[in-house]
Amino acid sequence: MSGLAAASYLTSTGEAVQFWILAVVAVAGALGAVLMKKAVHSALCLAGTMIVLAVFYLANGAYFLGVVQIVVYTGAIMMLFLFVVMLVGVTAADSLKETIKGQRLLAGLCALGFGVLLTAGIANAALRDFDGLGQANAGGNVQGLAALLFTKYVFAFEITGALLITAAVGAMVLTHRERTGPAATQRELAERRVRGGKQLPPLPAPGVYARHNAVDIPGLLPDGTPSELTVNPTLRARGQIRDVSGEALAELAALEQRSEDWLERDKRRAGERTEEGAK
Protein backbone atom coordinates (compact mmCIF):
# COMPACT_ATOMS: atom_id res chain seq x y z
CA MET A 1 0.00 0.00 0.00
CA SER A 2 2.81 2.35 0.76
CA GLY A 3 4.01 2.08 -2.83
CA LEU A 4 0.83 3.69 -4.01
CA ALA A 5 1.69 7.02 -2.64
CA ALA A 6 4.55 7.65 -5.03
CA ALA A 7 4.41 7.32 -8.74
CA SER A 8 6.44 4.29 -9.52
CA TYR A 9 6.72 1.75 -12.20
CA LEU A 10 6.54 -1.24 -9.95
CA THR A 11 4.37 -2.07 -6.99
CA SER A 12 5.69 -3.05 -3.61
CA THR A 13 6.81 -6.56 -2.92
CA GLY A 14 4.06 -6.98 -0.37
CA GLU A 15 1.46 -6.21 -2.93
CA ALA A 16 3.13 -8.58 -5.36
CA VAL A 17 2.96 -11.39 -2.85
CA GLN A 18 -0.62 -10.53 -2.07
CA PHE A 19 -1.43 -10.45 -5.78
CA TRP A 20 0.09 -13.78 -6.62
CA ILE A 21 -1.64 -15.53 -3.73
CA LEU A 22 -5.03 -13.90 -4.16
CA ALA A 23 -4.96 -14.13 -7.96
CA VAL A 24 -4.74 -17.87 -7.67
CA VAL A 25 -7.68 -17.80 -5.27
CA ALA A 26 -9.66 -15.57 -7.62
CA VAL A 27 -9.04 -17.77 -10.63
CA ALA A 28 -9.88 -20.85 -8.63
CA GLY A 29 -13.08 -19.21 -7.46
CA ALA A 30 -13.96 -18.23 -11.01
CA LEU A 31 -13.30 -21.72 -12.29
CA GLY A 32 -15.34 -23.09 -9.43
CA ALA A 33 -18.21 -20.79 -10.28
CA VAL A 34 -18.15 -22.06 -13.82
CA LEU A 35 -17.61 -25.71 -13.14
CA MET A 36 -19.53 -26.47 -9.94
CA LYS A 37 -22.55 -28.68 -10.49
CA LYS A 38 -24.76 -27.02 -7.93
CA ALA A 39 -25.78 -23.45 -8.36
CA VAL A 40 -25.29 -22.80 -4.63
CA HIS A 41 -21.69 -23.86 -4.85
CA SER A 42 -21.19 -21.69 -7.89
CA ALA A 43 -22.60 -18.73 -6.05
CA LEU A 44 -20.34 -19.30 -3.08
CA CYS A 45 -17.28 -19.62 -5.29
CA LEU A 46 -18.22 -16.44 -7.06
CA ALA A 47 -18.66 -14.67 -3.75
CA GLY A 48 -15.15 -15.72 -2.84
CA THR A 49 -13.80 -14.32 -6.11
CA MET A 50 -15.63 -11.09 -5.51
CA ILE A 51 -14.16 -10.69 -2.08
CA VAL A 52 -10.71 -11.24 -3.55
CA LEU A 53 -11.50 -8.62 -6.15
CA ALA A 54 -12.55 -6.28 -3.33
CA VAL A 55 -9.13 -6.73 -1.85
CA PHE A 56 -7.55 -5.94 -5.21
CA TYR A 57 -9.63 -2.77 -5.44
CA LEU A 58 -8.35 -1.74 -2.10
CA ALA A 59 -4.81 -2.56 -3.21
CA ASN A 60 -5.32 -0.39 -6.25
CA GLY A 61 -6.34 2.55 -4.19
CA ALA A 62 -10.06 2.26 -4.86
CA TYR A 63 -11.06 2.21 -1.23
CA PHE A 64 -14.64 3.21 -1.78
CA LEU A 65 -15.16 0.67 -4.51
CA GLY A 66 -13.53 -2.04 -2.45
CA VAL A 67 -15.99 -1.46 0.33
CA VAL A 68 -18.90 -1.21 -2.04
CA GLN A 69 -17.81 -4.41 -3.70
CA ILE A 70 -18.04 -6.23 -0.40
CA VAL A 71 -21.16 -4.57 0.93
CA VAL A 72 -23.25 -4.23 -2.22
CA TYR A 73 -21.93 -6.87 -4.53
CA THR A 74 -20.97 -9.69 -2.29
CA GLY A 75 -23.39 -8.78 0.44
CA ALA A 76 -26.48 -7.83 -1.52
CA ILE A 77 -26.31 -9.03 -5.08
CA MET A 78 -24.83 -12.42 -4.37
CA MET A 79 -27.39 -12.92 -1.61
CA LEU A 80 -30.07 -12.08 -4.13
CA PHE A 81 -28.64 -14.78 -6.31
CA LEU A 82 -28.76 -17.22 -3.45
CA PHE A 83 -32.37 -16.33 -2.77
CA VAL A 84 -33.31 -17.05 -6.33
CA VAL A 85 -31.34 -20.24 -6.32
CA MET A 86 -33.31 -21.34 -3.29
CA LEU A 87 -36.51 -20.24 -4.91
CA VAL A 88 -36.08 -22.19 -8.11
CA GLY A 89 -34.87 -25.33 -6.43
CA VAL A 90 -31.71 -25.69 -4.55
CA THR A 91 -31.81 -29.45 -4.85
CA ALA A 92 -31.37 -29.70 -8.60
CA ALA A 93 -27.78 -30.35 -9.54
CA ASP A 94 -27.08 -29.35 -13.10
CA SER A 95 -25.87 -31.97 -15.48
CA LEU A 96 -22.64 -30.78 -16.98
CA LYS A 97 -23.09 -33.04 -19.99
CA GLU A 98 -23.20 -30.91 -23.12
CA THR A 99 -26.30 -31.31 -25.28
CA ILE A 100 -25.48 -29.00 -28.16
CA LYS A 101 -23.12 -30.65 -30.58
CA GLY A 102 -19.79 -28.90 -30.88
CA GLN A 103 -20.80 -26.20 -28.42
CA ARG A 104 -18.08 -27.00 -25.91
CA LEU A 105 -15.42 -27.25 -28.60
CA LEU A 106 -16.46 -23.97 -30.17
CA ALA A 107 -16.71 -22.29 -26.81
CA GLY A 108 -13.26 -23.55 -25.90
CA LEU A 109 -11.77 -22.37 -29.18
CA CYS A 110 -13.43 -18.96 -28.91
CA ALA A 111 -12.35 -18.58 -25.31
CA LEU A 112 -8.80 -19.58 -26.14
CA GLY A 113 -8.62 -17.21 -29.09
CA PHE A 114 -10.27 -14.45 -27.15
CA GLY A 115 -8.02 -14.85 -24.17
CA VAL A 116 -4.89 -15.01 -26.28
CA LEU A 117 -5.91 -11.96 -28.27
CA LEU A 118 -6.84 -10.01 -25.17
CA THR A 119 -3.59 -10.86 -23.51
CA ALA A 120 -1.70 -10.02 -26.63
CA GLY A 121 -3.56 -6.72 -26.84
CA ILE A 122 -2.68 -5.83 -23.26
CA ALA A 123 0.91 -6.87 -23.83
CA ASN A 124 1.08 -4.73 -26.92
CA ALA A 125 -0.50 -1.70 -25.33
CA ALA A 126 1.77 1.15 -24.38
CA LEU A 127 1.39 1.05 -20.60
CA ARG A 128 4.72 2.48 -19.63
CA ASP A 129 3.55 5.48 -17.65
CA PHE A 130 2.33 4.43 -14.28
CA ASP A 131 1.18 7.33 -12.18
CA GLY A 132 -0.40 5.85 -9.10
CA LEU A 133 -3.27 7.42 -7.28
CA GLY A 134 -1.34 9.24 -4.61
CA GLN A 135 -2.23 12.66 -5.95
CA ALA A 136 -5.80 11.79 -6.90
CA ASN A 137 -6.50 10.28 -3.51
CA ALA A 138 -4.80 13.07 -1.65
CA GLY A 139 -8.09 14.63 -0.54
CA GLY A 140 -9.52 11.23 0.30
CA ASN A 141 -10.79 8.63 -2.14
CA VAL A 142 -14.46 9.05 -1.35
CA GLN A 143 -14.27 12.82 -1.55
CA GLY A 144 -12.48 12.60 -4.88
CA LEU A 145 -15.06 10.24 -6.30
CA ALA A 146 -17.88 12.37 -5.00
CA ALA A 147 -16.38 15.48 -6.54
CA LEU A 148 -16.21 13.76 -9.92
CA LEU A 149 -19.60 12.11 -9.58
CA PHE A 150 -21.45 15.28 -8.81
CA THR A 151 -19.66 17.49 -11.29
CA LYS A 152 -18.36 15.76 -14.34
CA TYR A 153 -20.62 12.71 -14.23
CA VAL A 154 -23.66 14.27 -12.66
CA PHE A 155 -25.93 13.60 -15.64
CA ALA A 156 -24.84 10.01 -15.91
CA PHE A 157 -25.42 9.69 -12.20
CA GLU A 158 -28.92 11.08 -12.47
CA ILE A 159 -29.67 8.80 -15.35
CA THR A 160 -28.54 5.78 -13.34
CA GLY A 161 -31.15 6.85 -10.84
CA ALA A 162 -33.77 6.58 -13.55
CA LEU A 163 -32.30 3.26 -14.62
CA LEU A 164 -32.55 1.83 -11.13
CA ILE A 165 -36.13 2.93 -10.71
CA THR A 166 -36.99 1.44 -14.07
CA ALA A 167 -35.29 -1.78 -13.09
CA ALA A 168 -37.19 -1.92 -9.82
CA VAL A 169 -40.50 -1.28 -11.54
CA GLY A 170 -39.59 -3.79 -14.24
CA ALA A 171 -38.81 -6.47 -11.68
CA MET A 172 -42.12 -5.84 -9.98
CA VAL A 173 -44.01 -5.98 -13.24
CA LEU A 174 -42.28 -9.16 -14.27
CA THR A 175 -42.94 -11.01 -11.06
CA HIS A 176 -46.36 -9.60 -10.48
CA ARG A 177 -49.25 -11.92 -11.20
CA GLU A 178 -52.50 -10.31 -12.15
CA ARG A 179 -55.38 -11.61 -10.11
CA THR A 180 -58.10 -12.66 -12.48
CA GLY A 181 -60.79 -13.38 -9.90
CA PRO A 182 -61.57 -12.35 -6.34
CA ALA A 183 -59.31 -13.81 -3.72
CA ALA A 184 -60.69 -16.92 -2.05
CA THR A 185 -61.87 -16.30 1.48
CA GLN A 186 -60.84 -18.51 4.32
CA ARG A 187 -64.25 -20.12 4.30
CA GLU A 188 -64.00 -20.96 0.65
CA LEU A 189 -60.57 -22.42 1.15
CA ALA A 190 -61.88 -24.56 3.97
CA GLU A 191 -64.80 -25.78 1.88
CA ARG A 192 -62.47 -26.59 -0.94
CA ARG A 193 -60.34 -28.66 1.38
CA VAL A 194 -63.33 -30.61 2.61
CA ARG A 195 -64.62 -31.27 -0.88
CA GLY A 196 -61.18 -32.25 -2.09
CA GLY A 197 -60.91 -34.98 0.54
CA LYS A 198 -57.73 -33.45 1.95
CA GLN A 199 -56.62 -33.88 5.52
CA LEU A 200 -58.83 -31.66 7.60
CA PRO A 201 -56.99 -31.27 10.87
CA PRO A 202 -53.46 -29.90 10.90
CA LEU A 203 -50.82 -32.29 9.78
CA PRO A 204 -49.27 -34.26 12.59
CA ALA A 205 -46.10 -32.78 13.89
CA PRO A 206 -42.87 -34.66 13.27
CA GLY A 207 -42.07 -37.23 15.82
CA VAL A 208 -45.41 -36.96 17.52
CA TYR A 209 -45.95 -40.66 17.92
CA ALA A 210 -42.29 -41.40 18.19
CA ARG A 211 -40.15 -40.57 21.06
CA HIS A 212 -38.21 -37.90 19.21
CA ASN A 213 -39.37 -34.50 18.18
CA ALA A 214 -36.72 -33.65 15.56
CA VAL A 215 -38.09 -32.36 12.22
CA ASP A 216 -36.25 -34.99 10.26
CA ILE A 217 -37.81 -37.90 12.06
CA PRO A 218 -41.21 -38.98 10.89
CA GLY A 219 -43.96 -39.68 13.37
CA LEU A 220 -44.98 -43.29 13.85
CA LEU A 221 -48.39 -44.68 13.28
CA PRO A 222 -49.87 -46.93 16.01
CA ASP A 223 -48.54 -50.02 14.30
CA GLY A 224 -45.05 -48.59 14.35
CA THR A 225 -44.71 -47.67 10.67
CA PRO A 226 -43.52 -44.11 9.83
CA SER A 227 -46.12 -41.61 8.57
CA GLU A 228 -45.53 -39.83 5.30
CA LEU A 229 -47.43 -36.81 6.44
CA THR A 230 -45.25 -35.87 9.34
CA VAL A 231 -42.12 -34.68 7.53
CA ASN A 232 -41.41 -32.02 4.93
CA PRO A 233 -41.26 -33.47 1.38
CA THR A 234 -38.18 -31.33 0.73
CA LEU A 235 -36.30 -33.26 3.36
CA ARG A 236 -37.48 -36.48 1.80
CA ALA A 237 -36.32 -35.32 -1.60
CA ARG A 238 -32.92 -34.57 -0.20
CA GLY A 239 -32.75 -37.96 1.50
CA GLN A 240 -32.33 -36.30 4.86
CA ILE A 241 -34.95 -38.26 6.78
CA ARG A 242 -33.95 -40.42 9.61
CA ASP A 243 -36.07 -43.53 9.87
CA VAL A 244 -36.41 -44.37 13.54
CA SER A 245 -39.13 -46.97 13.31
CA GLY A 246 -36.76 -49.88 13.85
CA GLU A 247 -35.12 -48.09 16.73
CA ALA A 248 -38.50 -47.39 18.25
CA LEU A 249 -39.58 -51.00 17.93
CA ALA A 250 -36.37 -52.14 19.57
CA GLU A 251 -36.92 -49.71 22.40
CA LEU A 252 -40.45 -51.00 22.77
CA ALA A 253 -39.18 -54.56 23.05
CA ALA A 254 -36.67 -53.51 25.67
CA LEU A 255 -39.40 -51.77 27.65
CA GLU A 256 -41.57 -54.85 27.58
CA GLN A 257 -38.65 -56.90 28.76
CA ARG A 258 -38.03 -54.57 31.63
CA SER A 259 -41.62 -54.57 32.71
CA GLU A 260 -41.73 -58.35 32.54
CA ASP A 261 -38.71 -58.49 34.74
CA TRP A 262 -40.42 -56.21 37.16
CA LEU A 263 -43.63 -58.25 37.01
CA GLU A 264 -41.93 -61.61 37.41
CA ARG A 265 -44.56 -62.76 39.93
CA ASP A 266 -47.25 -62.16 37.64
CA LYS A 267 -45.45 -64.17 35.10
CA ARG A 268 -45.10 -67.03 37.43
CA ARG A 269 -48.73 -66.80 38.43
CA ALA A 270 -49.57 -66.78 34.93
CA GLY A 271 -47.55 -69.96 34.53
CA GLU A 272 -49.51 -71.55 37.40
CA ARG A 273 -52.66 -70.50 35.86
CA THR A 274 -51.61 -72.24 32.82
CA GLU A 275 -50.83 -75.36 34.66
CA GLU A 276 -54.23 -75.26 36.42
CA GLY A 277 -55.84 -74.80 33.15
CA ALA A 278 -54.02 -77.82 31.86
CA LYS A 279 -55.32 -79.88 34.68
Partner 1 sequence: MENLIGTLVLVPLLGAGVLLCGGRRLDRAGHWIGTFAAALSFVIGVVLFADMLGRSGEDRELAATVFSWVPVGGFRADVGFQLDQLSMTFVLLITGVGSLIHLYSVGYMAHDERRRRFFGYLNLFLAAMLLLVLADNYLLLYVGWEGVGLASYLLIGFWQHKPSAATAAKKAFLVNRVGDMGLSIAIMLMFTTFGTFAFGPVLENADKAGEGRLTAIGLLLLLAACGKSAQVPLQSWLGDAMEGPTPVSALIHAATMVTAGVYLITRSGAIFDGAPDAQTAVVTVGAVTLLFGAIVGCAKDDIKKALAGSTMSQIGYMVLAAGLGPIGYPFAIMHLVTHGFFKAGLFLGAGSVMHAMNDEVDMRRYGGLRRYMPITFVTFGLGYLAIIGFPGLSGFFSKDKIIEAAFAKGGTEGWILGGAALLGAAITAYYMTRVMLLTFFGEKRWQPAPSPEEPGAEPAAETRGEGRMPHPHESPKVMTIPMIVLAAGSVLAGGLFSLNDAFLTWLEPVTGHEEGHSPVTAVQVTTATLVVLFVGVALAWAQYGRRPVPVTAPPGSLPVRIARRDLLQDDINHIVLVRGGEHLTRSLVYVDHTLVDGVVNGTAAAVGGLSGRMRRLQNGFARSYAVSMFGGAAVLIAATLLMRAV
Partner 2 sequence: MNPVNYLYLAALLFTIGATGVLIRRNAIVIFMCVELMLNACNLAFVTFSRMHGNLDGQIIAFFTMVVAAAEVVVGLAIIVTIFRSRHSASVDDAGLLKL
For residue 74, what is the DSSP state? I
Residue from 48, 61, 206, 218 in contact with partner 2 (CB under 8 A): 61
Residue 144's CB is within 10 A of a number of other CB atoms, namely: 16
Residue from 1, 21, 136, 154 in contact with partner 2 (CB under 8 A): 136
Binding of residue 145 to partner 2 (CB under 8 A): yes
Select the span of 141-149, 193-201, 213-221, 239-247 touching partner 2 (CB under 8 A).
141-149
Distance CA 151, CA 50 (A): 29
Residue from 5, 60, 242, 245 in contact with partner 2 (CB under 8 A): 60
Residue from 70, 141, 217, 248 in contact with partner 2 (CB under 8 A): 141
Nearest in space to 29 (alpha carbons), one of 54, 49, 56: 49
Question: DSSP readout, 143-186?
Answer: HHHHHHHTTTTHHHHHHHHHHHHHHHHHHHHHH-----SPPPPH
Select the span of 26-34, 193-201, 221-229, 231-239 touching partner 2 (CB under 8 A).
26-34
For residue 201, what is the DSSP state? S
Residue from 56, 217, 218, 241 in contact with partner 2 (CB under 8 A): 56
Give the footprint of partner 1 on residues 105-164 (CB under 8 A). Answer: 106-107, 110-111, 113-114, 117-118, 120-121, 124
Assess contact for 63 and 144: CB atoms under 8 A: no
Distance CA 156, CA 161 (A): 9
- Closer residue to partner 2, CB minimum distance, 86 or 203: 86
Give the footprint of partner 2 on residues 219-248 (CB under 8 A). Answer: none
Binding of residue 35 to partner 1 (CB under 8 A): no
Binding of residue 271 to partner 1 (CB under 8 A): no
Distance CA 263, CA 194 (A): 48
Binding of residue 99 to partner 2 (CB under 8 A): yes
Assess contact for 46 and 78: CB atoms under 8 A: yes
- Closer residue to partner 1, CB minimum distance, 72 or 106: 106
SS3 279: coil
What residue 11 binds from partner 2, partner 1, none (CB within 5 to 8 A, per partner kind)?
Answer: partner 2
Residues making up the chain, counted from first to last: 279
SS3 220: strand
278, with CB counted inside 10 A (0-12, 13-18, 19+), is exposed
226, amino acid identity: P
- Closer residue to partner 1, CB minimum distance, 98 or 260: 98
- Closer residue to partner 2, CB minimum distance, 115 or 224: 115
Residue from 11, 227, 232, 245 in contact with partner 2 (CB under 8 A): 11
Nearest approach, Cβ of 90 to partner 2 (angstroms)? 11
- Alpha-carbon dihedral angle through residues 201, 202, 204, 206, given to the nearest 10 degrees: 180
Chain positions contacting partner 1, by CB under 8 A: 100, 103, 106-107, 110-111, 113-114, 117-118, 120-121, 124
